[in-house]
Structure 1
């Protein structure tokens, strides 16, 4: 029979064993947003940055829709739709195991004696995925959940409007946004950025400027149980 330890959650999902590298909680916090330039104007929007390395997973618990705008220089930009500057939300960052530094508790090593988990690093608890648009119910009442983005819809629309012999250039950005309140998850595609430039001489605007570009991705999120994390 197989040797070693196996620890499973209430759903029977393997969380910890004596062989595998484990995804664990590295850090968590509360982010506060600042102003978002060029937002739609009719709906409050805001933004912030959270430190995230390339091999880490960022999970967010926001009661208003959020979207990942990109990652650069070790920071991930999070945009908020429906709340202005000063909005606060909780986040958790998971990654490959690194020792917690605790000198008490449980320490597991693999067959080579290399530490692979200790009780100072809570494991990443995945309960499932949410995909598509609309409203979803996840998990169990009384638990706390957060969302990690797997895939996110994005679209850029460019148009022009004639002003005499000149042109006004209008650029609109759409993205997938998600919110989570208790067990309730809501996912939508929303136009949240709108930029107007001009007037510009018509001769200075190439015909190729207009158009619509979309990544055609289906919004997909991993649901993580962060109760007591």
Structure 2
């Protein structure tokens, strides 16, 4: 780095580099649930939350209840939240730094004159990562934690019956659910069924059986969003 600024904290963790754009908070908010897309006959209660997201942005979420990211469609990340038919989800969107418009504070520029960072936007704080299923401790206590979902396991099972009514059956959706706690613990559940569309389950003959497994290993970044 021939120009700019380098900042390290007391744990010798690199924080700001005058040659690399910082990832900072672009926006935050709370999204209300929007109901469910299909019946939940026989499955756990859940609701859906959708949060707008653009390419190149990093979305961290927390709602106090277990959640599963169903995917991104029509410009929004969609989450199934377990154990509620109506709730809300807090979110923080991080992105490469853009000018916050501050009139006082500090600005850092690269050797080419590009704005790298200014104190009008808080930088993303990474507390760690978790993978797999189970209980993961050791994160800061008394802090507000949120999760960035990079990969999450999903399994869909479909059965079509011919007796007693042709072309009836069920589709079951399950996946791993995640939750943060203020005691510095992250919980990742085993596969849990959260949506079942069903009809004529008394049928005895299966004409079609199809299973889909995305084969993904759960992976999350744990972000410390305290004070943001």
User: Fold match, TM over 0.5?
Assistant: yes
Is residue 219 of structure 1 aligned with residue 218 of structure 2? yes
Deviation (angstroms), 1:42: 4.7
8 Å contact kept, 1:15–1:125: no
Is residue 174 of structure 1 aligned with residue 174 of structure 2? yes
> Are residues 45 and 143 of structure 1, via their aligned partners in 2, closer, same or farther at CA, if it must alter by over 3 Å?
same
- Aligned partner of 1:21 in structure 2 is 21
How many pairs are equivalent? 224
Which SS does the other structure have where 2:16 is aligned?
A: strand
Q: Encode CA deviations 1:71-98: one digit per residue, 9 max, x unaligned.
A: 123211121011121x123110011111
Is residue 65 of structure 1 aligned with residue 66 of structure 2? yes
Unmatched segments (≥5 aa) in structure 2: none
Q: Mean Cα displacement is larger for which, 112-121 or 189-198? A: 189-198
Distance 2:10 2:143 in 1: 13
- Aligned partner of 1:51 in structure 2 is 52
Off by >6 Å, runs of 4+ in structure 1: none
Q: Encode CA deviations 1:75-131: one digit per residue, 9 max, x unaligned.
A: 11121011121x123110011111111111111000011111100111111121111
Which SS does the other structure have where 1:113 is aligned?
A: coil
TM (normalized to structure 2)?
0.88
Deviation (angstroms), 1:175: 1.8
TM (normalized to structure 1)?
0.88
| Correspondence list, 1:93-172, <5 A | 93-164=93-164, 166-172=166-172
- Aligned partner of 1:31 in structure 2 is 31
Which SS does the other structure have where 2:177 is aligned?
A: strand
8 Å contact kept, 2:164–2:200: no
8 Å contact kept, 1:62–1:181: no
8 Å contact kept, 2:43–2:195: no
> Are residues 193 and 42 of structure 1, via their aligned partners in 2, closer, same or farther at CA, if it must alter by over 3 Å?
closer
| Correspondence list, 1:185-200, <5 A | 185-188=186-189, 189-197=191-199
> Are residues 41 and 32 of structure 1, via their aligned partners in 2, closer, same or farther at CA, if it must alter by over 3 Å?
farther
If each structure's strand is expressed as a fraction of its own residues, which one has the higher value? 1
8 Å contact kept, 1:59–1:149: yes
